[in-house]
A and B are shown apart, each in its own frame.
Chain A
Amino acid sequence: MYRGREGQWAFYLHRISGLGILVFLMLHVANIASAMWGPEVSNALMKFYHQPVFQVGLLFLIAGVLYHGFNGLRIILMDFTAWGVRYQRQLWYAVWVLFVLFYLPFLVKIGGGILGGSHGD
């Protein structure tokens, strides 16, 4: 299940996406909390994060959250059902189907924004 097959990729991606999300979460909390220092500080930081490079980062983040979440549900099915482990490979493909379905709206909206050159002002 783990040796170089889908199961191993599922594990690595779960770990990498998890770490990535945690790093973002820390920056995100700090960013929102900056509001306590007033609109000037807060708006300057947000304008900084509206740069295209961070929006591309955001697309990666959203991909990470969706994958981590759906693969987490796969892990739960493997833990708590009798058939989960047997069908873990099929479940992993189901994860990707859900991923594409949910990711497309974000990709269109944010990707469109980047290509359309909208980054604050």
Chain B
Amino acid sequence: MAIKSKRYPEARLEASTNLELYWWVFMRISGVVLVFLLIGHMWMNAVMTDLNSINYDYVAKRLSQTTWKIYDWLILALALLHGGNGLRYVLDDWIRHPAKRFWTKVVLYGLIAFLFFLGSLSLFNHDFGVK
């Protein structure tokens, strides 16, 4: 919804409230989806498979299938957003000093964005060499 406030401080207040609400809703929706995706993910790779047999070939074979590319990418995207926002709650609670809090966020969000990029590349832009 468009911001109606005329003054910047009020607009910011309003926007931040809506955004907080969106994040709040997102945490619940992504949470439910992740419960199912992750139990499936862990079951397939740790119960149905011997963990110790997992190597490059295993990953290559798995990721040669579009289903698992999309499945894994969904986990990647939802988990990083869910985890990143959860981390924001924790940092807001635990780091009182505003400047320290700001820079901690810059570094950690940067790391999360980088991992999203890295993970997406390995899922969609890497040829594992499986026919």
Which among B54, B59, B126 has the greatest number of chain A C-beta atoms within 10 A? B59
CB pair A46 B54 closer than 8 Å: yes
One digit per residue, 1 when the CB lies within 8 angstroms of any chain A CB and 0 when it does not, for chain B 39-63 equals 1001100110011101111011000
Q: Enumerate chain A residues within 8 angstroms of B90, measured Cβ to Cβ.
A: 15, 18-19
Does residue B83 face the partner (Cβ distance < 8 Å to A)? Answer: yes
A83 to B28: give the CA distance in the assembly, Å.
18
CB pair B118 A35 closer than 8 Å: no
Does residue B38 face the partner (Cβ distance < 8 Å to A)? Answer: yes
Q: A29-B118, A55-B51 are in contact. Are A35 and B39 (CB under 8 A)?
A: no
CB pair B55 A72 closer than 8 Å: no
Please classify the interface of chain A as helix (H, G, I), strand (E, B), loop, or mixed, using the class held by over half of its residues: helix
Does residue B86 face the partner (Cβ distance < 8 Å to A)? Answer: yes
A69 to B39: give the CA distance in the assembly, Å.
9
List residues of A whose CB falls within 8 A of some B CB: 15, 18-19, 21-22, 25-26, 29-30, 32-33, 35-36, 39, 42-43, 46-47, 50, 55, 58, 62, 65-66, 69-70, 72-73, 75-76, 79-80, 102, 105-106, 109-110, 113, 118-120
Q: Nearest 8 pairs between A and B by C-beta?
A: A69-B35, A22-B83, A39-B56, A33-B122, A72-B31, A42-B56, A29-B119, A33-B118
25 contacts between A and B (CB under 8 A): A15-B90, A18-B83, A18-B86, A21-B79, A22-B84, A22-B87, A26-B111, A32-B119, A33-B122, A35-B122, A42-B59, A62-B42, A69-B34, A69-B35, A69-B38, A73-B31, A73-B32, A76-B31, A79-B28, A106-B42, A109-B47, A110-B51, A113-B52, A119-B52, A120-B52
